[in-house]
Structure formats: structure tokens, C-alpha cells
Structure 1
Amino acid sequence: MTEAERHQQIVSMLETRPFATVRELIDALSVSPATVRRDIEKLHDAGEARKVFGGVASISHAARAHALPFEQSSDLAVDAKRAIAARAEMLCRDGDMIMIGGGSTCHQLGLRLAARPLSIYTNSMPLAAALGTYGACQITLAGGTLHREPGILHDAHIPAPDFFASRLFLGAQGVGAEGVMESHPLLPKATRPMLERADDVIVLADSRKLSVRARFVNCPIERISTLITDDAVAEEDVRILEDAGVEVLIASASGEKT
């Protein structure tokens, strides 16, 4: 198989899937790891694919430019979200007081923490309902009106929590040099009280989110301590965040070490 034929086969694979690992390409093309990595590099330079951690991604696979309701978002990138949640759980110590925001990736983290001896404050109604039914951890709910589309509780007249949390885990519609971005105008208002009461802000966002630029800044970049994403993230996106002082942790959704 010639180099051109290999490149065409890789591009064809990415027409039906967003990401292919180095191991999958080795098996599909019957070539060495070094050859696959050279092919990925050339496709990236030619603008035909994106070089990412652990493999290659389609340049046409971008996240939606508008926010989805919680129920719809929960069905997208499930493996990546579970891997991110598993990595985030490692940052939680028994006895911690933590805050968890709304969104499907944060929901996955909350489910993993359900039986842990720690205290969780959340404004997510779906997470509160799940923890109330299946959890053993202590739960504190943000007060206010239920806003069904983002699935959160909020009331502008209710003050910030009267305690400080060691960590705030925050989801995102988009992540970039500005910070965490959202399309729903309510979310920055609902997040602000938690930002005022958290030592560290840890953003949980699958790699699709790093190509999205939404309208409202939910959390400025300088407030973010850590971003946890999956191994389909583009290297240039990681560099932008690391240059801004954000620690980037990569969770392997493909099952490979990266």
C-alpha cells in the first residue's frame, strides 16, 4: 500500500467516526507505529485530519454550536465522559466538601461519588435526584427555581453558600483562551456563587468542547486550576490552555496509554 493509499484510507475511516487510535490504524493498515505517526503528521500538516493525543481525529467533527438539553447531551461522547469522570474521581478525597455543577460529564462524576463518604453541593437537579435515590454521600442543594433546559436550580436572590469547598467541578459547552463558555445566559449567573466559594476549579470537558466558542464566559481562564479531557484532544488546544497556566489531564477513552 502506497503512502497516498494509506492517507486515503485514514481519511475514509474518519468520514464515519470522529477518532481513530494509533493502534487501530496499525491494525487497519498493517504498518509500523512509526509509519502511522508519520502519516498522521502529514495529514495534519495538509489540513486533512487533526493530530491528537493517541491517534487522529476528523477535522469535520465539531461540537454543536448551541447548547443541548441535558437529556440529549447525556447520549453524546459517553465513553469520553465516563473516562473523564473516572479521572476526576481520583482528585476527590474522603471527607472532602466539593461542588459539582450541571451538565452530563459532571453528572457522570457525581454518580461515581455516590457511595463515597464526602459532602456534595450541587445545582444540578438530575444529579440531586440520582444521588437522593442511590447515593450515600451527604447532599446539599442550591436553592431556587428549576430551569428545565439546563437542568439547574437557581435564584438570584439566594446568597452564595455559607461554606468553602475544596473543589468545584464544572462542565462546559466550550473551552478556549477566554475560559469556560456557555450559550445559556443563566449559567454564568448560577455559577458565580460557586466560584466565590471554591478553592480550585476543575473543568470536565470532552475534546469536542475545545472547538466550540459560545457567547457567554461562565468561568474566566485565570480561575481554572485544571482541565480534564479525553485523548482525542488536539495538541494545539492543550498548549493554549497550558500556556495560560491551566494543568491539563488526559483521560484515555480509547483504552490506550497516552
Structure 2
Amino acid sequence: MTESERHKLMLGLLRDQPFASVRDLQAYVNASPATIRRDIAKLHASGAVRKVFGGIAAAESVSGLDRLAARPFTENQMLEVAAKNAIADEAAKLVKDGDAIIIHGGSTCYLFALLLANRNVRIYTNSMPLAATLWQNGTCHLTFAGGDLYREPGIVFSPKAGAPEFYASKFFLGAQAITPNGMQESHPLIVKETELLLQRADEVIVLADSRKFGARARYPIMPLSRIGTLITDEGLSEANHKMLTDAGIRVIIARPGPENS
């Protein structure tokens, strides 16, 4: 098989799935790991694909990434579900029975919270969808933020309330965008609420699928140095992996299993 034939097959594979590992590509085009890595380097250099941690991902335009930051909760629920479920699974492993934790709004955090619904944990949240689900289907101890409901982000917030009287060992939150300058959000109320909750948690754990890297949002929320652990998917680029580890962040790569596919 010629190089151009391999490249055509590899690009065709990415039309059916967002990510392909080196092992996937080896089997798909029947080539050695060294050949696959050379192909990846050439396709990445041409802009046809993105070189990511362990393989390649479909190329995305900057404008598409910009639009990502403005999507409401209900729309984000439908995106990258397998990756988000895998991230949620990894996050649940970090929670011990008896823990008091804060879980922010967001579609990945919502899936994570479902895994804790019937565990012996204390959860504080400002997410209306999350609180409603845990109330109906859970047995965990739940503390809910007070204030007005802001429907687009799905959070409850009171500008006069101040930081809650809840202290957590871990604060789990999602991200609209992650850059070398830190995390960014598109809604100012999320920024204000997060700043208050950061005062009440020992460790910050970010749940963010790889689409969030390179995205842009309007408001800075925290520097990378404030993040202890970040859980993402296999689409994370090598450059972004290095950016995170250089900032002292523990990076966990979540790999979807058959049940999440």
C-alpha cells in the first residue's frame, strides 16, 4: 500500500470516529508502528489531522472551537458522550466513602455525579439538573446552593450569598476552555460562583474532554497552577499534555470501554 493510499484510509477512518490510536491505525492500514508515526507526522504538518496523545484526531477549525464555549448545558449533554462517560468513570475512582465534595454544573460533571448518587458521600452543587436528578434517584447527602435559577447554564446563584458554609476535600468542575493562561468560561455568573467555591475546597479536579483545549471563552476563571488533577480523553495533544504536566498538574487519560462506546 502506498503512502497516499494509507493517508486516504486514515482520513476516512476519522470521518467515522473522532479519534484513532496508533494501534487502531496499525490494524486498519496494516503498517508498522514506525510507518504509522511517520504518516501521523506528515498529516499533522499538512493540517489534515491533529496529532494527539497516542494517535490522531479529526482537525477542527478555530471558529468551531470558539462556538463550543457558548453552548448551553442541554446541548453539551449530547456531545462526546462516550468520552465524557469515561472521564466520569475515572473521576468517581478519586472519591472515597465519607468524602465531602463540591460538584459544579456542566454535562461531564452531571454524568460523574450520577455515579455517586447512591454512595456514602456529601455533595454540594449549584447545578439544578444535577440536584434534581440526585433528589429523585439518589441517597447521598445533598446540599444545594440557594439563589436564582439561571436557565442557560443551569445553575443557581445568589450574588449576595457569599461562599457557602460547606468545606470539601475536592472540587470537581468542568471547563469551557483551557489555555496556557488557565481556564476560561463564557458566562460571568459561572466565574463568580467558581471563585467563591474555590475558597471552600482543598483540591481542584477538572473534568474536560479534549475539545476544550484550544477553545476560547471570554472570562478567565483560574490559572493552571490552581488545578491539582485534570481528567480528559485520548484526544489530548502531546503539546497540551506537556503544558499541563509542566504546570504541575496530574493528568489522567480516560479511555472509553465497550460500555461507554
User: TM-score scaled to structure 2, two decimals?
Assistant: 0.92
Counterpart of 1:231, as a letter, is E
CA contact (8 A) 1:228 1:251 kept: yes
Q: Deviations over 1:173-215 (max 9, x none)?
A: 1111122211111110111111010001111000000120111
CA contact (8 A) 2:69 2:216 kept: no
Counterpart of 1:223, as a letter, is R
Match of 1:250 in 2: 253
Match of 2:220 in 1: 217
CA contact (8 A) 1:231 1:254 kept: no
- Which of 73, 77, 89 is the equivalent residue of 1:74? 77
CA contact (8 A) 1:164 1:198 kept: yes
Relative distance call for 1:254 and 1:178 in structure 2 (3 A) is: farther
| Whole-angstrom distance in 1 between the partners of 2:257 and 2:215 | 22
Counterpart of 1:174, as a letter, is A
Unaligned runs of 5+ in 1: none
Aligned residues: 255
In the TM superposition, residue 94 of structure 1 has moved relative to its aligned partner by 0.5
Match of 2:4 in 1: 4
Matched, 1:173 2:166: no
In the TM superposition, residue 60 of structure 1 has moved relative to its aligned partner by 2.3
Counterpart of 2:50, as a letter, is R
In the TM superposition, residue 15 of structure 1 has moved relative to its aligned partner by 4.0
Match of 2:114 in 1: 111
| Whole-angstrom distance in 1 between the partners of 2:242 and 2:54 | 16
Match of 1:100 in 2: 103
- Which of 230, 234, 240 is the equivalent residue of 1:231? 234
CA contact (8 A) 2:69 2:215 kept: no
Unaligned runs of 5+ in 2: none
CA contact (8 A) 1:89 1:112 kept: yes
In the TM superposition, residue 27 of structure 1 has moved relative to its aligned partner by 2.7
In the TM superposition, residue 237 of structure 1 has moved relative to its aligned partner by 0.9
| Whole-angstrom distance in 1 between the partners of 2:248 and 2:161 | 32
158-167 or 76-85, which deviates more: 158-167
The alignment's C-alpha RMSD in Å is: 1.6
CA contact (8 A) 2:102 2:170 kept: yes
| Whole-angstrom distance in 2 between the partners of 1:97 and 1:12 | 46
Counterpart of 1:38, as a letter, is R
| Whole-angstrom distance in 2 between the partners of 1:211 and 1:9 | 27
Match of 1:204 in 2: 207
Q: Deviations over 1:73-126 (max 9, x none)?
A: 100000000000110111111000000000000001100111110100000000
CA contact (8 A) 1:188 1:218 kept: yes
| Whole-angstrom distance in 2 between the partners of 1:51 and 1:115 | 39
User: TM-score scaled to structure 1, two decimals?
Assistant: 0.93
| Whole-angstrom distance in 2 between the partners of 1:139 and 1:219 | 26
In the TM superposition, residue 40 of structure 1 has moved relative to its aligned partner by 1.4
Match of 1:131 in 2: 134
In the TM superposition, residue 236 of structure 1 has moved relative to its aligned partner by 0.5
SS in 2 for 1:25: helix
Counterpart of 2:18, as a letter, is P
- Which of 180, 185, 199 is the equivalent residue of 1:182? 185
Match of 2:88 in 1: 85
| Whole-angstrom distance in 2 between the partners of 1:34 and 1:203 | 34
In the TM superposition, residue 3 of structure 1 has moved relative to its aligned partner by 1.3
| Whole-angstrom distance in 2 between the partners of 1:15 and 1:117 | 43
Give 4+ residue runs of structure 1 displaced > 6 Å after superposition.
Answer: none
SS in 2 for 1:211: coil
| Whole-angstrom distance in 1 between the partners of 2:91 and 2:128 | 20
- Counting aligned pairs with the same residue, the percent is 52
Counterpart of 1:45, as a letter, is A
In the TM superposition, residue 33 of structure 1 has moved relative to its aligned partner by 3.1
